[in-house]
Chain A
Amino acid sequence: MTALGKPPDSPPQLSLCQSAVRQCVCVCVSVSYPPSSQSTMADTARDPPPELSDFQELQDGEDLFPEPSAPLESGPASLPAEDISTNSNGPKQDSLFDDDPEDLFAEATEEVSLDSPERDVLLSDGPSPAITPITPPCSLITPHIDMFTHCSFDEIEEEEGGDSFDMHISVSDPEKVGDGMNAYMAYKVSTKTSMSLFRSQDFSVKRRFSDFLGLHSKLASKYLHIGYIVPPAPEKSIVGMTKVKVGKEDQSSNEFVEKRRSALERYLMRTVKHPTLLKDPDVLQFLESSELPRAVSTQALSSAGILRMVNKAAEAVNKMTIKMNESDAWFEEKQQHFDNLDLQLRKLHASVESLVCHRRELSVNTALFAKSAAMLGNSEDHTALSRALSQLAEVEEKIDQLHQDQANADFYCFSELLGDYVRLITAVKGVFDHRMKTWQKWQDGQILLQKKREAEAKLQFNNKPEKLQQAKDEMRELEGKVQQGERDFELISKTIRKEVSRFEKERVKDFKTIIIKYLESLVQTQQKLIKYWDAFLPEAKAIS
């Protein structure tokens, strides 16, 4: 399948090898799903009980739902259908959306941030959370780490350099540049912003896919190992890209380009929404400067690419051998949480992919039926019935288009976003793994120090002054390293807490947005369905 060209170019995550394979398997499973359900004739469902019990059945289910069943009890004609027009749907939904999240997330954030430090104090036997004001590698990262312990929703916002987040990036105008196997797609990256961080308010540059990968690679190498959740870049696809290069101007290569364009846009938005990454000079350069040095090492089959793969494999082995004594229950809990989340998201993603597949099938089948109904209408000798059948064919044709559009919504609004999150969770888990490695390094340092101490004691006992001095020097150096190791560990732990809290907040908000948008698309579909069938009804009634 796409196992061909899928060494994902996201940062060397420890568990990515396995999850990449898992992801392939997941997709495989969903692709083979349709054939197995191709059983013979009538996969009949329950026949509709008379009108009354229709509503009864639904109402039973609705007892679970917080919605008033009163409007639904009356027949369709008396539903407040006239009120719920396309126009009023919008604002109504917005108001719903606005009311809830504020309460939800403020509380959630408070709880997370208030709980954890307390737990730290009560539960951890391990190293005390010594908060030393260290300037992290990148001086642009805000040094107010102690702020985190009392961090609330508002304060996180303030950290973002005083500007409220106001930025919109779009990736558009895919253009093929060059010919043959050296050809590539160039995308226009346009930024609109009022933030003071940028030189102007409205600007755009041309970028190619490897530029995005290069950006990600730089960010990953700078931030991942100190605990920042760097959004993974969209995946390479040798098969997809080759088709485009070779010049096939067909449906599937257009879809591929659109899929990629959309993925790149989401990637950039996610990256700039991260308050720390936004201020990174590489990000700024990517968005603003007209020329960008070519990121050659991102090529899959380059020596750098192969080296990456080898490293990943090595790291996967290493990860299995690290046994960390987790003294902080928060991390254990979160790790478990993300493991579960990973599982559920993959499952959800697979189900939604299956939905997309079936919806596309439905569209094809509807189109086929429409043609067949048209032929039947032609064959019918009763005039009015013939006309009605032709009308039915037309309705079904329109519905086919509707299904296609809905399938696209299923895909772009739902499936792709879930895929993004599956990869994001992998990045999160990678960050946890880095913390483990940091701990390991610190522990190794401590063990070494202990050995050196023992050696020094022995030397003292044996009275060898020159060696003793050397040993003492080495020990001092080691002590420094161990202290640094401890600080690193503390730092990464703190960063991860902040990152995870931010991530979870974003995720829950994102999910809600995704689902609401998706449900909105379904509402649009229903509107159109009503219109089409309403138009058909008089035709059916006209049969005599």
Chain B
Amino acid sequence: MRSVSVDLNHDASLLIDIPDALCERDKVKFTVHTKTTLSSFQKPDFSVPRQHEDFIWLHDTLVETEDYAGLIIPPVPPKPDFESPREKMHKLGEGEATMTKEEYTKMKQELEAEYLAVFKKTVQVHEVFLQRLSSHPILSKDRNFQIFLEYDQDLTVRRKNAKEMFGGFFKNMVKSADEVLISGIKEVDDFFEQEKTFLLDYYSKIKDSTAKAEKMTRSHKNIADDYIHISATLNTLSADDSTANKKHCGGYYMSSFVFLQKVEGRVASDQELKLTELLRYYMRDIQAAKDLLYRRARALVDYENSNKALDKARLKSRDIPQAEEHQKQCLQKFDKLSESGKKELTSFKGRRVVAFRKNLIEMAELEIKHAKLLRTWLAMV
């Protein structure tokens, strides 16, 4: 998962990781550990407990900070979702009577592994979020970020109250207007024109690819589960045969299926991590980039409006200085966003290409490794 976004956590002045997490019912408690040489922090090495909602708070405050309008804010980590393994565990419990004890145990083990995998993934995605912040020249200095890392009390008090939550809801409602706004803008800058076209198109494509990759992974998992049932039944069969024919025959083919299931399961999880997670992460990241474009488009609209207001003021010969000042500010803001946005989007592309490269290579290598392993094993049988 760390490979999804590379070049993180190398700057020794601020090192963050999540070494530990607790799962209580549905709530996950992350232990956020910081090691720093910066004097802005009170201690050089400390840890705090944080919940998922704290991460959301941090993300949202960053998004709402005017100064960061020209930056790509790292996407907020998704909520820990144990729904799927829990549902499967429930179904397994219902179907317990139809399977042998061994089968049931195996399926349970698989589900526990799945549960653990979801857990590990959510830890890492939260970790990557923090590490993106700590490695960003501007965001790493954010005051709220520091509070998040350092404040040793419960952050709940500082978090969104009902009003701000409504604000968040409103923000999401407006998001759908984004695309219209972005595409409707008369773009003078070639770079942004290209980026806009590219990002809008790419987003829909990558969203589709993510969904399709998820389906592939699920099918692999289903096949691995089938192998569990098959190997269990073969086991019973060969035990019966041994009793009936008074000779042990064919236990090895049961073990082939156990091996098959392990490998198939491994293939599924590798594919999940290298491909599906990659696509998923960059889908969210592209959304963050689109948000940047939106903010810039908004600023452009504001600038154009300020121009119109200035013209009107000049016509009416009233409030000209204010109008001029307002226009100047709008322009400044727009220019700042454009300059910073250009930098961000360029480094974003670089980051994306590097991450894709790394993951595609690793996925191919893992596929080859698994296939070779399976082939060797099966050929020996």
Scan A81-98; emit 1 where CB is below 8 A from any B CB, else 0: 100100001001100100
Which residues from B are CB-within-8-Å of A38? Answer: 218
Question: Given the complex, which residues of B lie within 8 Å of A372, measured CB to CB?
Answer: 205, 208-209, 212
Is A457's beta carbon under 8 Å from chain B? no
- A89 CA to B375 CA, complexed, in Å: 10
A4 located at the interface, meaning its Cβ lies under 8 Å from any Cβ of chain B in the complex: no
CB distance from A79 to the nearest CB of B (A): 6
Q: Contacts A76-B373, A522-B378, A540-B357; is A108 near B240 (CB within 8 Å)?
A: no
Q: Is A529 part of the contact surface with B, judged by Cβ < 8 Å?
A: yes
A40 within 8 A of B: yes
Question: Do the beta carbons of B364 and A369 come within 8 Å of each other?
Answer: no
Contact A358 B222 (CB under 8 A): yes
Is B331 positioned at the interface, with any CB of A under 8 Å from its CB? no
A45-B272, A522-B374 in contact; A358/B250 too (CB < 8 A)? no
Contacts known (A48-B273, A365-B219, A523-B378); A348 close to B237, Cβ less than 8 A: yes
1/0 per residue, CB under 8 A from B, across A133-177: the answer is: 000000000000000000000000000000000000000000000
- The answer to whether B171 has its CB under 8 Å from any CB of chain A is no
Distance in Å from the Cβ of B240 to the closest Cβ of chain A?
5
Instruction: Provide the bound-state CA to CA distance between A516 and B259, in Å.
Output: 15
Q: Out of A47, A71, A107, A380, name the residue touching B247 (CB < 8 Å).
A: A107
Interface residues of B in 246-271 (CB under 8 A from A): 246-247, 249-250, 252-253, 255-256, 258-260, 262, 265-266, 268-270
Within 8 A of B (CB), among A7-63: 34, 36-48, 54, 57-58, 61-62
Knowing A79-B372, A537-B368, say if A61 contacts B258 (CB, 8 Å): yes
CA distance A107 to B252 in the complex (A): 19
A381 contacts the other chain (CB 8 A): yes
A347 proximal to B (CB < 8 A): yes
Q: A41-B81, A379-B202 are in contact. Are A108 and B246 (CB under 8 A)?
A: yes
Residue A504 lies at the interface, judged by CB distance under 8 Å to chain B: yes
Is residue B369 within 8 Å, beta carbon to beta carbon, of the partner chain? yes
Is the CB–CB distance between A48 and B202 below 8 Å?
no
Task: Name the one of B221, B237, B256, B258 contacting A45, with C-beta atoms under 8 angstroms.
Answer: B221
Asked if B162 is at the interface (CB within 8 A of a chain A CB), the reply is no
The verdict on A289 contacting chain B, using a C-beta distance below 8 Å, is: no
Q: Does B214 contact A (CB under 8 A)?
A: yes
In the complex, which residues of chain A have a beta carbon less than 8 angstroms from the beta carbon of B229?
Answer: 347, 351, 354
Known contacts A104-B249, A382-B353, A530-B371: does B365 contact A351 (CB below 8 Å)? no
Q: How far is the CB of B217 from chain A (nearest CB, A)?
A: 7
Please state if A533 and B368 are interface contacts (CB–CB under 8 Å): yes
Chain B residues 331 to 381 lying within 8 A of chain A, measured CB to CB, are: 349, 352-353, 356-357, 360-361, 364-369, 371-381
Within 8 A of A (CB), among B38-87: 81, 83-84, 87
- State whether B379 touches A42 (Cβ < 8 A): no
Q: Which of B259, B268, B356 contacts A61 (CB 8 A)?
A: B259
Among A223-231, A275-283, A337-345, the stretch in contact with B: A337-345
Residues of B within 8 A of A107 (CB): 247
User: Nearest chain-B residue to A511 (Cβ)?
Assistant: B250
Q: Is residue B328 contacting chain A, with contact meaning CB distance below 8 A?
A: no
Chain B binding surface, main DSSP class: helix
CB distance from A472 to the nearest CB of B (A): 49
Rounded to whole Å, the gap between the CB of B126 and the closest CB of chain A is 14
- Whether a CB of chain B sits under 8 angstroms from the CB of A306 is no
Q: Chain B residues with Cβ under 8 A from A520's Cβ? A: 378
Of the candidates B124, B240, B246, B360, the one whose C-beta lies within 8 Å of that of A540 is B360
Question: Is B118's beta carbon under 8 Å from chain A?
Answer: yes
Q: Is A417 an interface residue (CB 8 A)?
A: no
The answer to whether B241 and A537 touch across the interface, beta carbons within 8 angstroms, is: no
**In the bound complex, do residue A512 and residue B378 qualify as a contact, i.e. CB atoms below 8 Å apart?**
no
B198 contacts the other chain (CB 8 A): yes
CB-based contact A369/B216 at 8 Å: yes
Q: Can you show 25 pairs from A to B with CB atoms below 8 A apart?
A: A42-B81, A42-B272, A43-B218, A46-B113, A46-B120, A48-B266, A48-B273, A71-B376, A89-B379, A341-B237, A344-B240, A351-B230, A359-B219, A362-B220, A368-B215, A369-B215, A372-B205, A526-B371, A526-B375, A529-B371, A533-B364, A536-B364, A540-B360, A540-B361, A543-B356
| Given A512-B250, A541-B357: 12 more A-B contacts, CB < 8 Å | A41-B81, A42-B121, A44-B217, A45-B224, A48-B270, A61-B262, A62-B259, A111-B245, A368-B215, A379-B201, A379-B205, A381-B198
